[in-house]
Amino acid sequence: MIRVGQGFDVHQLTEGRPLIIGGITIPYEKGLLGHSDADVLLHTIADAALGAIGEGDIGRHFPDTSEEFKDADSKVLLQDVWSMVKERGFKLGNVDCTIMAQMPKMAPHIEAMRNQIAELLEADPSQVNVKATTTEKLGFTGRGEGIASQAVILIEQA
Ligand SMILES: Nc1ccn([C@@H]2O[C@H](COP(=O)(O)O)[C@@H](O)[C@H]2O)c(=O)n1
Ligand SMILES: C[C@@]1(CO)OP(=O)(O)OP(=O)(O)OC[C@H]1O
């Protein structure tokens, strides 16, 4: 059996926070705001995986009203989600992600993100693809107010 899921997430850019995307800390003057470390890409992948197994979204499993998840490391959240995927007898087929950010340039960090995501999903980096696009200065991402991300995941019976 195969299952697919998709995820989408947005976080606001603000001063005084580190910019963590795909588990990688990216040098930049601003970072993403959130209850957790606000790793927009890992949240997107977690949502896609939860979608694939029909388990809602990360807000349901890790509420932003809970102190337990304040400043949470999103790598740990994704690992928890991945345990649920494995418990149901699935492994990764592939995951394809797009980061929407006007700035900073993601290209120098894409390979590190890919390797980190593969490690978290216990897969080979060839099963993970990460892309980035500006939104041509249009909308909230184009104005640099926030960063958005989307992902599609395919999981298959282990
Ligand atoms: N934050 C970003 C945005 C884009 N890139 C890379 O630049 C290429 C061109 O971007 P367009 O928005 O003009 O399509 C894109 O394909 C990415 O490779 C990036 O590294 N970081
Ligand atoms: C991850 C959680 C929990 O710390 O908080 P945020 O970092 O605000 O992220 P979001 O993508 O809004 O949704 C899930 C939250 O419950």
Distance CA 98, CA 134 (A): 10
Q: Is 100 annotated as a binding residue?
A: no
98 contacts: CB under 8 Å, gap ≥ 6 = 131, 132, 133, 149, 150, 151
Q: Is 86 annotated as a binding residue?
A: no
* 132 Cα: distance to centroid of ligand 1 (angstroms): 5
Q: For 20-75, what is each residue's pLDDT tens digit?
A: 999 999 999 999 999 999 999 999 999 999 999 999 999 999 999 999 999 999 99
> pTM of the predicted model, to two decimals?
0.97
Give all domains of the chain, ordered by start, each with its CATH number.
Answer: 2-157 (3.30.1330.50)
* 141 Cα: distance to centroid of ligand 1 (angstroms): 13
pLDDT at 152: 99
pLDDT at 23: 98
Q: For 80-106, what is each residue's pLDDT tens digit?
A: 999 999 999 999 999 999 999 999 999
Task: Extract the tokens encoding 154.
Answer: 């395919």
Report whether residue 115 contacts ligand 1, using a CB cutoff of 6 Å.
Answer: no
ipTM of the complex: 0.93
